[in-house]
Each structure stands twice: as structure tokens, then as C-alpha cells.
Amino acid sequence: MHFKVFSRSPITAAVILGLLAAQTQVLALAQAQPSVPNSSKATQQTPLQQRYTFDLPEQHLLYSLGEFTSITQISVVRQDGQPIDGTAPALRGEMTADEALRTLLADSSLTISYRNGRTAELLEPATSLTVGNQTAFSTLTVSADRIGDNWVYHEPRSVSVISREQIDRTPPRHAADMLQETPGVYSAVNAQDPGLSVNIRGMQDFGRVNMMVDGMRQNFNDNGHQQRNGTMYVDSELLSDVVIEKGASTGVHGAGAIAGSANFRTIDVDDVLLPGKDIGVRLRGMTGVGGEGNGVNFIGSAAVAGRLGDRWELLAARSNRNFGEYAPGRRRPNYDFLTVGVQDEFHQQIEQDLERVRFTDNEQDSNLFKARLHIDDDQSLTFSYLGTELSYNNVSDRQIMRAGEVVDGDDAWRRFGDASTTSDSVSLRYNLNPSSPLINLEANAYFVSTEGQRYTEAGRPVVLNGTDMTELNWMMGVCEQNPIPDNAYSACRAGLDNNNRTQIDTYGFTLENTAHFALGGIDGFSSNHGVEYFIDKGESTTAQERGGRQLASIDNTMQPSGERSIASAFSNLQWENEAFTLAAGLRYDYYKLKGSTKLPGVEWTYHNRYDRASRRAENGLRTRRSNCISAIIPEQSRQTACDDIPTWEGYVNDPTSMIDYETSWRYEPTWLSDTVMQDYDVDNSMDKLLPTLSAAYRPNENVELFANWGRGWRPPSLTETLMQGSHPGDPFAVMFPNPHAQPETSRSWDVGANFTAQDLFKSGDRFFSKLSYYDTRVDNYLITSMVNVMPGQQGGLGHTMFVPNLLPMNFRGLELEIDYDAERWYTQANYTHVLGSDNQFCQKIYPLGSGNIREDIPDENGNYSDAHYEAIEAGYDSYEAMRDDLTYCGIDVIGMNSARQLPMDRGSLVFGTRWFDQRLDVGTRLNYSAAGGPEDFDFDLWPSYVTWDLFASYQVNPNLLLRATMLNVRDRNYVTGYSDIFSKSYGAGRTLMAGAELRF
């Protein structure tokens, strides 16, 4: 990683000093090693007293200070916020950190004041104010680990960062709003559900994207139409930044993630403390303004942090986010997408206007605590806890038509009841970074527990001839019987409340080390290696209640219980010099899944004439007895059924007495099948070796060309393997497990270029850009199919399960990021251009096997059917094998889910200006989404739109910052691109927020 260094303004200096500290660390570790003749003595020395070997050329002072910080891990702060200019002399040889820093500053007017053993402050002698032994100043900090987001433009791979500055400019109502300025990243957002599902380059769900908080996997899954099968709950108020890695990786967080990873990193001590202070408080608050507040009640947090001596760092924070319902935009409404259902043909030309998007009110409370112990100068131990609680609504899909009429907009969504989620993440992290270039070790053990509850109140009662049969049956005690009579079952169920509870606990451990060394006399080698292990334990129950009294609690097989784990070991070797970077990596993954489910099977029995007649007689008697007591069939039919009971009782006693016993085809001897649900224990395991290769070339100091290639895989999840049961509210749809599902495998590669420059258009400006082309192919991609024929059956409509796509899935596109800063004004842009067409789908008609052995069983004379011989002639071992091999190709069976169509083009453009010594920042953001939807539709599923935002901030003094934001200035009506097609919720209309941040 190489780039040219420059400095013009305090803000630029801060960013560049941080960049230098991080980017030169590899080279610095190879060049400089502390000289420690006596280990016991060295342990007692402070970093300032330790001796280091330096080899720095004569160069810009800013550059040398960055390398000094990387070598010594001593932060350097600039007191008065002024630029750091001048040239530092060459620095070579062994000396203490204090001697080295004073040598670098020898030709400048700056002096040094040490706040502690890890912080050096640069002072202008004529302007510093000292009272006692305390110096008062405003500072600009250089830190080796808390750097700006421009480092991504020096990484030869596809990586993006969402900075705290971006989050503050346009505060997010939903966590998915944070992704707006990140190319290649989407979310199937549902405005009525605060859960976040990250989509990278068209792939999401079930761990395809490794979503993390501070490196802790968030593997919670609440099953839902493959719109968000995998959600996390994160509070934007407590974040410092978000790092998005795209594509397969052999790094520490790459196990099972074929699309990439998203790491949401929480604030640390330095985010709270004022520069130069050891104790500090940060208070933040935003609220909606007047009639334009549009449901924004409060977004805010309080944090306190402190450094206790040289050993302890503590942080505690609490946040609250509170929103009411919001109004959508009123300009240029589009109704094309409204009546798109599970199948294409449900589209109609209708209009449904909304004054408000109902049930979007929610509240989130979060707590964060961190404690870091610096064991010595080389080691630290960090404990962190993050807990969040959310309360929101359990809401139906959007209702457009009912009984042939358009539903009033105020009734477009039905509220089933309350919903809540609690999530707790705990970690213990150990860091070891001694003077040896062979050791830079980090170990992290963590535990994440997420529990979601969805309460569904009793549904509409069953009414017959004006009588509420639900209330009547409960009042008469019919619903308390065991079993409940068949003719009262539906009415009784309609009177039950259901509380669905899903909990997933994740236990994880990561260990990685980075070593720098020479090989065969050649410098520039480094190795990153380590292990990762995590296990998910899922448990889900449904409690049935009536009047606050719990009647039963059963396992919820739609959110299956079980255990799934992945153990991984990885190693990456890299060689780098000024012009080239070459790297190769290898990952070994071992996967295991255990659980129980019910699997459909088939039992074949040979029935002679008597058996078949007996079976028909028993079924006939059962039907007439049921109809005789039914309250929902006409009186004449009910009486006829009662009169026929004696006759059919006679048939049961003597099937041969049936009138057509000897002549009817109904009783011909044959093999008959019975479909049964059998208990099935799953204990799957498999492993995989996954390589990666990468290369970069830097023809000059401004340009870096790179290419990356890698293999990945994603083993099946608990839901895909074990899910079983009836669809809630839709008895027609039945879910079936797929314990035989095989892992998805991917091949991904990308090529791109980084470009950095200074003084490009004017003195002091800086320019960064990253352009990438990506191409990912996934085989065996698991999709939800709604038509699957079960063993021994003929039809499969409504039988839903996860099945592999027999055709490869392809994801290709271009991503562009630009960041330009000319001090007085700045601009940032990103764009994603998706290439290719919608993927095609083929699947097995019998995913679990046909189970059809009838044609392969000889008759009494030893003869097989013609179908059996035809299968043999076709090259199959049996007719059953030929049926097992049948496939169907088409998209009409998979419904509307995230795999059906590729994302659309998307981009944003930010333009801002700075005034009054850069204390006032005013700007605007343009958000663009192209139209999207399946190619075979003659309308847009997600209509195209452009919205505009305005933002401003004013630094009143070093302690007080004022902010204001107006989102969707033109009040545009739109549906967020790639959002949840079932909720069909509009984005928020014009929204004005204002607030402040106070630090002291």
C-alpha cells in the first residue's frame, strides 16, 4: 500500500496522518525493531524510554510523524488545529522514541509535551497556555488505529467504509439507510421491521453475507419469504463506522460467506474524549422539527469515557431511538407495483393512496460498555458488552384488494400484535503486539444471543348464520376438549392468541496473527494466519393463549431448533515491494449440523379387491358421520348423511355386500401408497478447501491496479435443512425440510484500480477513487420453490422448500467510488452498474425422491409394467430412478424473493462546502435508483426515482456542534429499490431534523 503524502488543512492533516500510520505499518515493522537487551528491564520502561531502530529518509514532516506513530505506537497530537508543514531530516539508527521525535521536529518551531506514555502533544511555544502543569488547547490527533475512511483507496481489493461523518450527515430512520452511499450494497428493507439484512452484489440471507458487530457474528434468522432470512439489530447511534468487504475471503471473517462481510464497529474511548483529555462526556440528540418532523421523535445517546493512568480505559454509553408513523412523499406517486403478488398474473391497474405508512412506529434502547486493560506496553485485554432492545409491530403484508374492492389506504396493513427483539453481544479480546515483527496477535471469544417475539392476537372469528361460532365453542367448553372435534377445529383456532418466540445463540472464537519477515534475503513478506470457530444454537416455540392464559407451548418447526457450526483454519502469504503485491491464501472449513425434523415418506402396500373395498367403506362411513353433526352444511345434506350411516356401517362389516364389489374398477388389486411424515434425525458434516489469489501493480505513486480471485462455499442453514410445517394463515402452503441439501459453491473474481492524487485541480486538494469490476458464479444456489412433488404423490403445488438451482447463478457489475476534497468544497460519489440478465432456474421435480416403486414391482406372474421397461431402455436402473431425475425449468415456481431478479443500478452524489474556518459545513446529497424487477414484467417492480437531501453542521466551539438535516426535500413518492416486495411500504416523505452534540 503506497501513496503520496500531502498536508494543507487541519482536517486533511488529521486524515493523512492517520492514513500514514496505518499504511506504513507493514514497512515500518520490517524496518524497525526495538532493541531490548534485557527483557526484564524493558518491561519496566515506558514506550518513550524504549529504544527503536529507525530508517526514515528526509521527507515531509507529516509523513515522518506517521511512520513514527506506526513504529512506536505513540499517538501524536497537534495542539492548535493548524497544518503540519515543513520537512523532517533523515532519521537512521537506534534511539529512544523521545530522541527520535525531537530529531524529527528539530527544524520546526514545534515543541513537545507528553500527556502520558502513549501521547505526545505538539505545541507552538508562542501560543500555548500553561496553568500549573496543565496545558489548554484544541488538538488534532494522529492515531495508528483510529484512522479516516480514505484507507480503502489504498487497498488492492473491493472494500468500502461507511464513516461516522456519513451517518451523521443524514441520520438513518432505518438501519438500512446507512448503506445508501456504498456501491454494490443493498437491503430488502421493510419499514415496519427494524431488522437489517445486508445484500452484497445481489446475494444475501443465511450467512452469505457475514454480518457482525465488532467482529461478532450476528446470525439471527426469522424466516420470511427469502426477503430477510438473516437479520441483525444494530443501533446507528453507537457506531464509529462500518467496514464492507466484498467477495470471497480467506481472512478471519470469511468462513461460509460467499458474498462478503459487513462489520459494524462501535464507538471507543477516543470517540468520546476531547483531544488531550483523560475523562470526557459526549451527549447527542436529534429530533423532528415541527410539522416536518414526520415521525422522528428522538435519536440520541449519552456516553462517558476515561483513561485511568496508563493502564485502564473505560467507556459506557446509552442510546435511544424513537419513531412514530411517517407520511410518504406526495409528489409523483407510482402504483404499478401494488398488486404484484406471489405470481406474475396478479398485476392490475389500480390505485391505493396513503396518508401515512401505518405501524412504522418503533423504539430502540441500547447499552454499550467497554473496559480495556493495558497489561503492559505490548498486551491489552478488552471486555465489551452491547445490548439492544426493540419494540415494534407484527404487521401483515400490504393488502391491496379485498372482495374485489380496493382496500382503503388506512387499512392497507393489518396489525397482528406486538413484536420485540432483544440482542446481547459479549466479547473478551486479547491483543499482543510486541516489538517482534513476527507477532501481531489478536484473539477474540464472544457470545451473541438474540431473541425475537411476535405476538399474533386472535384472528377473525368464524361466523355461521350470524352466530359467532368461535365465541360459542369456547364458551361451551368445546375448544377445551382433547382432541377438539373436527367440525369445531377452525372456529376454536380462530380464538387463540399465539406468541412465537425464536432465539439463536452464537458462540464464537477467532485467533489471527500477522508476521512480517524476509525470505531468502528478500524483504517484504508477510503472513496472516489463524482459526475461527462458531456454533449457532437455535430454539423456537409457539405459546397458545386465551384470555391471558397459556394453554399450550409447542416447538415452532417453521423456525427450527438445532445446532450448526463451522470450524475454519486459514493462512495468507503476501509479498510486497514499491511496485508489486502478490498474495495467495488457503482456507479449510469443516461444517456440522444437527437437529430433528419430520420428513415425508411413502409406504407401499399391496391391496387385493377385499382390502380396497374395505378401505372405501371406512372412508365413506367416516365422511357421513362427520357430515351428520356438521353445522355448516345444508340441512337436507346433513339429514341424508345421517340416514346413510346404517348402510355404510353394513359395508364396513362386510365389504363384499357393496353393490359393485365384483365389477367396479375401484376395487381392482393394486399397489397403493400412503404418504407419512416420519421423524428424521439430521447429523450432517462436510469439509472444503478454498483458495484465493491476488495481485497488484503500482506503475506510479498515483495508480494501483489490482485483481483478486477466490473460491467460496456456504453450507446449508438450520432453516433450509429442518424447516417443516404449515404456512401461518395459509393452510394451502406446506413447508418441507431438505436435509439432503448440499453446500453452495462460488467462484468470484474482480479487477480494479485505485487512483490517488494531490494538487490535482488546485493547491491543497486531494482526490481518491476506486473502480471495480466483479464477476461471481454460484453453483447449487438454494432457493425457495413453491411447487415440489413429495414422494409417492402426483402434484406439488403449495409444497414449499429450499431446493438447489441446477443452473449457475451469475452476479456481475461495476462499482465506482470517488472522494474529492478541495478544503472549501468537497464531493463524494458512488455508483453501481449491474451487468447481465436475470438468472434462470431449474430444479428437481421430486427434490426428496419420487418414491415411486410401483412400476418396478412385478405382478403375480412376475411381469413388470411397460413403464419399467421404458425406463430401462432409457438407460435408468428403474422407473423410480427415471422419475427421480425429472426436472422443471422456469421462474414461475419460486415466487417473489431476493434470488429471483438482480438488483438495479444505484448511486449517490454528495456536494458540500465549508465556511468560517471550516466550522460551518453545508451540503446536499442526491440519491438515485434505477427501475428494477423481473425482465418478463411489463412494468417496474421498483420504479425509478431521484431524491434530494440537505445537511448542515456548525461547530460553535470545541465543545458544541449543531446539526440539521432535511431528507427528501422535494417530497418525492418512492419505494426503496430492492426493498421488501411483500410489505410494499413507501419511503418517508420530506423530513426535517435538528440537534446538537455536546462534548466536555
CA distances from 455 to 32, 216, 630, 733, 915 (A): 61, 29, 32, 21, 52
Report long-range pairs for 407-416 (Cβ below 8 Å, ≥24 apart): 407/352, 409/352, 409/353, 409/354, 409/355, 410/354, 410/355, 410/356, 410/358, 412/352, 412/354, 412/358, 413/192, 413/358, 413/359, 413/983, 415/358, 415/359, 416/454, 416/455, 416/456, 416/457
DSSP code for 760: S
CA distances from 428 to 259, 269, 425, 505, 639 (A): 27, 17, 11, 17, 73
Domain boundary among 76, 107, 142: 142
Angstrom distance (rounded) from CA 268 to CA 382: 11
First-to-last CA distance in the chain?
37
* Together in a domain, 717 and 781: yes
Domain boundary among 212, 235, 269: 269
pLDDT of 718: 92
The answer to the question of residue 754 being in a domain is yes
Angle at 363 between CA 362 and CA 364, to 5 degrees: 130
Domain boundary among 640, 668, 696: 668
The answer to the question of residue 878 being in a domain is no
Judge contact between 680 and 593, C-beta under 8 A: no
Report residues of the chain scoring pLDDT below 70.
1-47, 49, 79-83, 115-118, 124-149, 224-227, 339-348, 727-732, 895-897
* Together in a domain, 685 and 554: yes
pLDDT of 855: 87
Angstrom distance (rounded) from CA 223 to CA 209: 16
- Helix, strand counts (H, E) of the chain: 14, 50
pLDDT of 950: 98
pLDDT of 728: 63
Tens digits of residue pLDDT in 848-857: 999 888 888 8
The answer to the question of residue 880 being in a domain is no
The answer to the question of residue 864 being in a domain is no
pLDDT of 686: 96
Angle at 158 between CA 152 and CA 164, to 5 degrees: 45
What are the start-end ranges of the E strands in 214-278?
216-217, 239-246, 260-266
Tens digits of residue pLDDT in 860-918: 778 888 999 999 999 999 999 999 999 999 877 776 567 778 899 999 999 999 999 99
Angstrom distance (rounded) from CA 608 to CA 606: 7
The answer to the question of residue 858 being in a domain is no
- Mean pLDDT for all residues in the chain: 86
Strands 119-123 and 75-78: parallel
pLDDT of 246: 95
Instruction: Concatenate the DSSP letters of all residues of 893-930 into one string.
Output: TS-SSTTTSPPPPEEEEEEEEEETTTTEEEEEEEEEE-
Q: Return the CATH number at 47.
A: 3.55.50.30
* Together in a domain, 360 and 258: no
* Together in a domain, 798 and 708: yes
Judge contact between 975 and 987, C-beta under 8 A: yes
User: Within 629-684, where are the H helices?
Assistant: 635-653
pLDDT of 98: 83
* Together in a domain, 31 and 94: yes
Q: Return the CATH number at 540.
A: 2.40.170.20
pLDDT of 347: 58
DSSP code for 666: G
pLDDT of 19: 35
* Per-residue buried b or exposed e for 726-740, using 16+ beta carbons within 10 Å of the residue's own CB: eeeeeeeebbbbbbe
CA distances from 532 to 431, 512, 690, 717, 872 (A): 16, 9, 15, 18, 49
The answer to the question of residue 867 being in a domain is no
What is the domain extent for residue 430?
270-458+496-599+677-850+886-999
* Together in a domain, 718 and 808: yes
Three-state DSSP state, 546 = strand
Cell readout for 808 is 449457475
pLDDT of 81: 54
Angstrom distance (rounded) from CA 867 to CA 879: 7
The answer to the question of residue 491 being in a domain is yes
* Together in a domain, 826 and 959: yes
The answer to the question of residue 2 being in a domain is no
Residue type, 406: V
* Together in a domain, 484 and 531: no
Judge contact between 153 and 756, C-beta under 8 A: yes
* Together in a domain, 233 and 296: no
* Together in a domain, 337 and 382: yes
Q: Is the dihedral of CA 892, 897, 902, 907 positive or negative?
A: positive
pLDDT of 339: 61
* Together in a domain, 347 and 427: yes
pLDDT of 974: 94
Angstrom distance (rounded) from CA 316 to CA 660: 84
Angstrom distance (rounded) from CA 30 to CA 956: 44
| Number of domains making up the chain | 5
* Together in a domain, 369 and 453: yes
